[in-house]
Structure 1
Amino acid sequence: MKIISYTFLHCSLLLLFFSLPLSAADSSVAVSSTGSASIRPDMVEFTVLLTDTAPSASEATGRTAEKYRRVQDALRTQGVLAEDASSVSYGVRQQWEWDNASRRRVFKGYTSTHMLHVTVRRLENAGRVIDSSVKAGADEIQGIVFTSSRNEEVRRAALADAVRQARTDAEVMAKAANVSLGVLLDLQTAFSPFYPVGEFDAMPVRKLEAASPSTEVSPGTLVIKAKVFCRWALSR
């Protein structure tokens, strides 16, 4: 009789436990999701590298400064504003080379480098701006990236898409567990970079000169992603 009584008591407690409503502190479901939205780019950004090597530091910097002035003048002519052609890096360093015959380093002079970040706000002008920069003295065109003036609008659309996906996943999980989705307990987002289609490596001047008379760039679709972390309470 004691064994039967204990078994009955144990089963009664289990039934009582499962009949109690789950509180937010007792049970919840956490979901992470990534949403995306796409748009056709209407802008392009790239970096212009100016560099020169000379026997003295002053001569190297002087040559680079002259290139800088010519490139900036060319950019103004093409409608690029001064604030859209800003300096992002500048440096002067000694140039050494290893000489196998003497088995020692040989001083070759000083190298000056100046990098500009250029934003072209009308995509159709990108080719002309690149060509003008090269003709004015640019040594390399680097990191061409297509972007959009509507990035923030598209980012918000991606964020909404991520939340919708997270809720759908949470509802599927709750239904499979035979519980109901309750109130939203936590909602967070994390930075997610833009994913432009059509990003190029450095384009040395010799490549540009060997190409067609007019440089053309062809953008793909700009995909912007957003990631969210959500947590909902569960109830029976």
Structure 2
Amino acid sequence: MYQTFRQDGSDRQIRVQGSGSVKVKPDTAVVQLGVVTEGADLTTVQDENAAVTSMVKNQLMAAGVEETDIQTSDYSVFPQYDYVDGKQVFRGYQVSHMLTVTVNDIEQTGAVIDAAVQSGANRVTNIEFTVSQSYYYYQKALQIALGQALATAQTIANTMNVRLEQKPVRVVEEKSPDVSPLQPYAKTQMLSESAVPIEPGMMEITARVDVWFPFYP
């Protein structure tokens, strides 16, 4: 999208928009997983959850995940109720301890999830793939976006039979890069067996700019 406008007789500018994208294979996975336990006695349920969570953490580290890459993202306790003859009857408690696990060797994502599940993790809520050097690839996308903007402005100037000044007077860049998977990975909920192989696919890093170029008759 673009528009051409004139502020006064001596100040003529062409405004254009440019976008550029770079496709890159992700190299990092961030997995949300955890342990959910239930029972009638809160202390017993919490102790069981803590013991299983500890085993999960130990197994994750044995699988190659650094301790600093395992963080608690949520810990919750919920009372559970049944409804009998229209009345609320207390059934027990549910304790949930969710972890955020960063897998720096993306090829090991499936093995890491398998290790967590085999040691007691029974919930995986999200798997997100990222690029550790996203800023580097964003710079490449930004170069493409600026080149596209210049090419568009030059085409407009040639069509209008005017001379384009290729040094812009103003550039407005989107505040943050748009990083998105080309094929989003579906979320899962409860796990009762080993995780399936993980396919990260490709990611697309996009940059967008608004650019103003002066032109002359």
Superposition TM-score, scaled by structure 2 size: 0.84
CA distance in 2, matches of 1:29, 1:58: 69
Q: Counterpart of 1:140? A: 123
Q: Say whether residues 1:185 and 2:166 are aligned partners.
A: no
Query: Quick check: 1:36–1:226 contact (8 Å CA) kept in 2?
Result: yes
2:110 aligns with 127
> What SS class does the counterpart of residue 171 from structure 1 fall into?
helix
Distance 1:231 1:62, change over 3 A: farther
CA contact (8 A) 1:30 1:170 kept: yes
Deviates more, 1:128-137 or 1:142-151: 142-151
SS at match of 2:152: helix
CA contact (8 A) 2:56 2:119 kept: yes
Q: Could you tell me which of 25, 46, 66 is aligned with 1:81? A: 66
RMSD of aligned residue pairs (Cα, Å): 2.2
Q: Does 1:202 align with 2:188?
A: yes
Whole-angstrom distance in 2 between the partners of 1:106 and 1:226: 55
Q: Is the 8 A contact 1:29 1:233 kept in 2?
A: yes
Contact 1:47 1:115 in 2 (8 A): yes
Q: Which has the higher helix share?
A: 1
Contact 1:28 1:232 in 2 (8 A): yes
Q: Which amino acid aligns with 1:230?
A: V
- Structure 2 equivalent of residue 49 of structure 1: 34
2:45–2:95 Cα contact (<8 Å) kept: yes
**Range with bigger deviation, 117-126 or 193-202:** 193-202
Query: Does the 8 Å CA contact 1:23/1:233 hold for their aligned counterparts?
Result: no
Question: Residue 112 of structure 2 aligns to a residue in which SS?
Answer: helix
Residues 48-82 of structure 1 show CA distances to partners (whole Å, capped at 9, x for unaligned) of 12212222433333222222211110011011001
Radius of gyration: which is bigger? 1
1:204, distance to aligned residue in structure 2 (A):
2.5
Partner of 1:106: 89
* Distance of 1:180 and 1:104 partners within structure 2: 81
Where in structure 2 are there 5+ consecutive unaligned residues?
A: 1-7
TM-score by length of 1: 0.78
- The one-letter amino acid of 1:41's match is P
Per-residue deviation at 1:203?
Answer: 4.8
Residue identity (%):
26
Q: Secondary structure at the match of 1:114?
A: strand
SS at match of 2:200: coil
Instruction: Write the distance in 2 (CA, Å) between the matches of 1:58 and 1:138.
Output: 20
Distance 1:22 1:131, change over 3 A: same
Distance 2:89 2:19 in 1: 54
Code of the aligned partner of 1:23: S
Q: Deviation per CA, 1:167-193, whole angstroms, max 9, x where unpaired?
A: 212222233333333341221222233
- Mean alpha-carbon deviation: is it higher for 153-162 or for 86-95? 86-95
Q: 1:225 aligns with which of 192, 200, 206?
A: 206
